Amino acid sequence: MDPDARARVDAIATRGRVAVVGDDSVVYKDECVFSFDAPLSANGVYVNCETLFGYGRRYVELDSARTGCGAYVRVKTTRARRAEVEASETPTTLGFGVDGGFASESDAWEETTTYSLVLAPDFDDVSRELPLEGLPEALSAACERIARKRGFHDTEETKAWQETREVSRYALELAQEDNGKKIPSDPSKWRCEETGESGNLWVNLSDGHIGSGRRHFDGSGGNGSALRHYEAMKAQGKHYPLVVKLGTISAKGADVYSYSPDEDDMVEDPYLAEHLRHWGINMVSMEKTEKSMAELQIELNKGFEFDKITEAGSKLESAHGPRLVGLKNMGNTCYLNSVIQALKQVPAVCDRYFDKDEIFSTAPENPVTDFPTQMSKLINALVSDEYATPEAENAAVAVCPRMFKQLVGKGHPEFSTGGQQDAVEYFQHLLETMTRAERAAGSRLSEGPPTAAQFTFELEDKVTCVESGNVRYSVRKDNILSLEVPLDKATNKESVDAFRERELKRAKTESDDVEEIVRPEVPFSACLEAFGATETIEDFYSSALKRRSIASKTTRVKTMPNFLAVQLRRYFVGEDWTPKKLDVLVDVPKTISLENLRAMGLQPDEIVLPEDETANTAASSAPVRVEPDAAIVSALMAMGFSENGSKRAALATNNASTELSMEWVFAHMEDVDFNDPLPDQSAASEPAMAASDPESVTMLTSMGFDETAANAALKACSGNLERAADWLFSHADDLPSAIAEVNGASTSADASEGAGSVSFDGPGEYELFGIVSHMGGNTNCGHYVAHVEIDGKWYIFNDRKVALSLKPPTDLGYLYFFRRR
């Protein structure tokens, strides 16, 4: 080591801040925290020997200036393609890098990684390849552990994502009747005991009944007699939940489904061989004759919906350049990828996060946990030309938003997992996360209203007492215009009905005739009309009449946002209480107007419903207590859900219907408080401190805030401690007024935070610029794709693949993005 290098090394050692890399230490050596540079990049990644954060070459000087660190371990990986192997067979497992699954990209390469010690200020000097003799002990140990230790992403994520199935809780003590029934081993002799059908047959493991399965998400399948048999047995007091798809039985296993409402999913049966042997089936000698449920889902890619949304069959021209950068799918993150591709087209997003080096220079000690840093990192990569070359699409270094996903999803029961999620829910969660972070960031970001305010609008609800004619107006905020799809307004209803009749005849006669599906075609204008239609409220208490009566309710848009996000409610809960998707075409036009839905406010000839006299008394000054509908709660409990969870669902949907409550259950059944008792509504009028968790209050007061501020923060953030801390710091400059607003607000402060505290207004004329489409039977499976208009041309963003779009699927979208014309 030359004298100059020796002197610098000694100075670093004397500084005494070299990290002690222990077993619990996290080393960010697989990706730059400010960019998507990785060890496979041209210059690799430089790991700070004090903080253990990694940086791309162009950010090393910035980090050294921020931290004062002068020693970095450079991690550089090179790769060579392995010898060609035979093309893999069609995948049979929903997974990556696993037997029978999709091939992993890295499987085709041989990689070699080298580690070098790099000293400031000549960071490009990488001649000192590790290990080096003569280094101070602390620095030598740190370099050695950095080189040996797995990177952050290797530690936090598994290489292979695979669909997992839980072991059924009913498998161990499954009841099996001794009724003498034996199932023949010859598949040609299998028949549905109710209809005589020979395909998609499921045997009930408890009584040996063979029934037809339900229709698949691709439109094929049976008539549901196996489920009807389960329900009939349940009505007799017999719980026979487990069924097996006969055609999938082999020595390797079979598809097992549990009809029990508390599972209602594909499951594992560890005792399957024993259970099948009871009915005369020897798994070892069986051969698979039908597609498994996983194979059917994979084959969906070849269907109408997938082909149309991804424009399969068209010779699409690959696109490259700024704003045309694809995102790597981390197993099931296409929902995130699609939302971000549309969101980056909002000027306010780029104005705040693109090309803002001050965000990085003012980043906190841990940039990985800082939303502005990670948002800026992602937007820079998508909008600039850094990763926009044609070579980048096939390069080893991909824009993979792992840090961003982990940060935004942290603590969330759904978005913190590796499973597929609802893109609409993620969009709203992202806006809420962004708003909190922007308030906390203060002067680090450009001034102005929260970015989410671009999508925030106000809805005006007008309730009219039918008898008296008196009215009541209320205003609420939202950031999604959610529209029902009225199937009864289909313009081709007669053709659809005729097709369904022919389908039923073919099913009864076991005809092999195949006909192209006739899908309902509903005009987008009908969806807007349904939104603005008058709703009847039964059993309405009229303060004008002093008794129960009937009221009508209409909803109008009070303020028109700069950017409008529209959701078409394609997903619903079927009669068998499983999530389903409307197979319907809604051709959304390129331009729309909401002016006919604009709220007009109180009119001169209207009389406001008087306040109830009893509301002025101290005893009744609290909000009206809302009770969960007993019928809805009973129906949900009959499906196996807890009483508390059923009550929460009924209240969350304002007792609208069992179906809507079930949809809420599917979305929230993993919430940590789903089965907790409901809070005492009688305490709603008490000060916020009465409802706050004492431990959370103590934690916040230990940060220097008084109890009043702590309770207000917890109230504003629904009791979430981490968010409450953010709220307090972000309102430090105007804390008294913020506390007063929370304690005096008539609407949920947390909800208004999520939607953005500011809403713009302007002409309600919009043009379409983004479509997020979903393929699959429900939002918990399948695949998302985005189509985005950029500089007058439409492009398809299918994860990493970006191409010029020939025909955007305007009639199959799930989430549409409009900008003001």
Looking at 153, 774, 783, 787, which residue is catalytic? Answer: 783
The torsion defined by the Cα of 460, 466, 468 and 471, in degrees rounded to 10, comes to 0
For residue 8 the two structure tokens come to 């610098």
CA torsion sign, 693 to 696 to 701 to 706? negative
**Is position 500 annotated in a ligand binding site?**
no
Cα–Cα distance between 661 and 572 in angstroms, integer?
11
For residue 167 the two structure tokens come to 């072991």
**Is position 400 annotated in a ligand binding site?**
no
Single-letter amino acid code for the residue at 522: V
**Is position 216 annotated in a ligand binding site?**
yes
Cα–Cα distance between 388 and 416 in angstroms, integer?
29
DSSP 721-758: HHHHHHHHHHTGGGHHHHHHHHHH-SS-HHHHHHH-S-
Distances (CA, A) of 550 to 468, 541, 623, 684: 10, 8, 21, 27
CA torsion sign, 316 to 320 to 324 to 329? positive
Q: What is the DSSP letter of 318?
A: B
Cα–Cα distance between 239 and 227 in angstroms, integer?
12
Instruction: Please say if 717 is a catalytic residue.
Output: no
**Is position 259 annotated in a ligand binding site?**
yes
Single-letter amino acid code for the residue at 162: Q
Task: Tokens 């009221």: give the residue.
Answer: 551
Task: Tokens 């020897």: give the residue.
Answer: 282
Burial 185-201 (b: 16+ CB within 10 A, else e): eebeebebebbebbbbb
- Local structure of 817: helix, strand or coil: strand
**Is position 527 annotated in a ligand binding site?**
no
- Local structure of 521: helix, strand or coil: strand
How many other C-beta atoms lie within 10 A of the C-beta of residue 384? 15
Distance of CA 4 to the CA centre of its chain: 53
**Is position 202 annotated in a ligand binding site?**
yes
**Is position 192 annotated in a ligand binding site?**
yes
**Is position 387 annotated in a ligand binding site?**
no
187 φ/ψ angles, rounded to the nearest 5 degrees: -60, -25
**Is position 264 annotated in a ligand binding site?**
yes
Looking at 334, 400, 465, 717, which residue is catalytic? Answer: 334
Single-letter amino acid code for the residue at 29: K
774 φ/ψ angles, rounded to the nearest 5 degrees: -125, 135
- What are the binding residues for substrate? 202, 214-217, 257, 259, 264
- What are the binding residues? 192, 202, 214-217, 257, 259, 264
Query: What are the catalytic residues?
Result: 334, 783
- What are the binding residues for Zn(2+)? 192
